[in-house]
Amino acid sequence: MKIKKFLNTILLFEIIFLLQQNIFAAGDELNTVMSIMLVFTVIIIAVTLWLSVVYSEKNDNEGKAFLNPYRKFLKMLTKSTPIENEKDILLDHEYDGIKELDSKVPPWFAFLFYGTIVFSIIYMVRFHVIGSGDVQAEEYLEEIRAAQVERQILIKTGAFLNEETVTFTKDAGALSNGKDIFIKNCAACHANDGGGLVGPNLTDEYWINGGGIKNVFKVIKYGVPAKGMISWQTQLSPTQMQEVASYILTLEGTEPANPKQPEGEKWVEPKEEETKS
């Protein structure tokens, strides 16, 4: 039976959309995807119904039972007089040969009109009676506030810290965090006291890739793959990298148990003016 075929088609579409939904659902925007799917499903059903109407006009015997409620529904929305009975509602005037029918105003049109009027009343009440009426200024302040909150979060996570902007921190808490990070991640190669094992000695004044907070931060962030130093930017946040880099710089001049020989160049901190330019 043809009707079964249609129902099967609907089912097939449903399955396809459900599958797609699962694929999309892996993302964050689940709600958006869900609502898009819902809209699509509704559209598919509507189109299918419409197709079935077109089809059933060709095969009047089949499908009538299935379509009757839908036809009734359509009829209710349009209240249109069938074209065969048109002469019953033909008005008795004509203008230069143009006649007019006395068709009812389609109920769907009236619903649409009333709907927009209700929408408008709610809109005005919502913003200008219940609300303050100061719509766009408030909206703007809210947008700015949200941006500031986001910025504070970003500052906390150190999102603004990079090898250009990073500074040495003297903060005791930060340095203690730095020490913990060092013991956990760096000591394996550089020794617990920074004296160096596979990696170079971090307590002397000699640096292979340049000293100072910016260079050290950069080496931690990107690593020096050729020499076996790995990149840490996916494992440590910028703030953590700042803390551990600062901690490493505090080690200079300490006396480790088994210091490795100095490697690289002796580092001289550039003068203030030069760094500024």
Partner 1 sequence: MNVEKFSYDNKIVRLFTIATVVWGLVGMLVGLLIAFQMYLPDLSFGIQYITFGRIRPLHTNAVIFAFVGNAIFAGVYYSLQRLTKARMYNDFLSNFHFWGWQLIIVSAAITLPLGLTTSKEYAELEWPIDIAIAVVWLAFGANMMGTIMKRREKHMYVAIWFYIATFVTVTILHVVNSLELPVSLFKSYSIYAGVQDALVQWWYGHNAVAFFLTTPYLGLMYYFLPKAANRPVYSYKLSIVHFWSLIFIYIWAGPHHLLYSALPDWAQSLGTVFSIMLIAPSWGGMINGLLTLRGAWDKVRDEPMLKFMVVAVTAYGMATFEGPMLSLKNVNAIAHFTDYIIGHVHVGALAWNGFLTYGMFYWMMPKLYRTTLYSKKLANAHFWIGTLGIVFYAAPLYWAGIAQALMWKEFTPLGILQYPNFLETVIQIVPMYIIRSLGGLLYYIGVIVMVYNLYKTAKQGSFLANEEDEAAPITIEKDKPKKGKIHRWLEKRPIQFAGLATVAILIGGVVEFVPTYLVESNIPTIASVKPYTPLELQGRDIYIREGCVSCHSQLVRPFRSETERYGEYSKAGEYVYDHPFLWGSKRTGPDLHRVGGKYSNLWHYLHFEDPRSMSPGSLMPRYTWLLEQTLDIETTPVKIAAMRTLGVPYEEGYEEYAVEDLMKQAEEITNDLMNNGVVTEPDKEVIALIAYLQRLGMDIKANANGN
Q: What does the alpha-carbon distance between residue 205 and residue 203 come to, in Å, rounded to a whole number? A: 7
143 vs 265 by CB, closer to partner 1:
143
19 vs 121 by CB, closer to partner 1:
121
76 vs 101 by CB, closer to partner 1:
101
Q: Are 169 and 246 in contact (CB under 8 A)?
A: yes
- Nearest distance from C-beta of residue 9 to partner 1, angstroms: 27
107 vs 210 by CB, closer to partner 1:
107
Which DSSP string corresponds to 242-260? Answer: HHHHHHHHHTTT---SSPP
The CB density around residue 216, as the number of other CB atoms within 10 Å, is 25
Q: What does the alpha-carbon distance between residue 185 and residue 199 come to, in Å, rounded to a whole number? A: 12
Token readout for 88 is 């019953």
57 vs 171 by CB, closer to partner 1:
57
- Nearest distance from C-beta of residue 160 to partner 1, angstroms: 7
Q: What does the alpha-carbon distance between residue 106 and residue 104 come to, in Å, rounded to a whole number? A: 6
- Nearest distance from C-beta of residue 217 to partner 1, angstroms: 17
- Nearest distance from C-beta of residue 36 to partner 1, angstroms: 17
| Secondary element (H or E) of residue 264 | none
> Is residue 179 helix, strand or coil?
helix
Of the candidates 269, 270, 264, the residue with the CA atom closest to the CA atom of residue 207: 264
- Nearest distance from C-beta of residue 215 to partner 1, angstroms: 23
50 vs 123 by CB, closer to partner 1:
123
165 vs 167 by CB, closer to partner 1:
165
Q: Are 263 and 211 in contact (CB under 8 A)?
A: no
Residue count of the chain, please give it. Answer: 277
Q: Are 219 and 248 in contact (CB under 8 A)?
A: no
CB-count exposure of residue 130 (10 Å: 0-12, 13-18, 19+): exposed
Residues that bind partner 1 (CB under 8 A): 80, 83, 86, 90-91, 93, 95-106, 109, 112-113, 116-117, 119-120, 123-124, 127-128, 133-137, 139-140, 143-144, 147, 150-151, 154, 159-160
Rounded to an integer, what is the distance from CA 55 to the centroid of its chain? 43
- Nearest distance from C-beta of residue 78 to partner 1, angstroms: 9
- Nearest distance from C-beta of residue 146 to partner 1, angstroms: 9
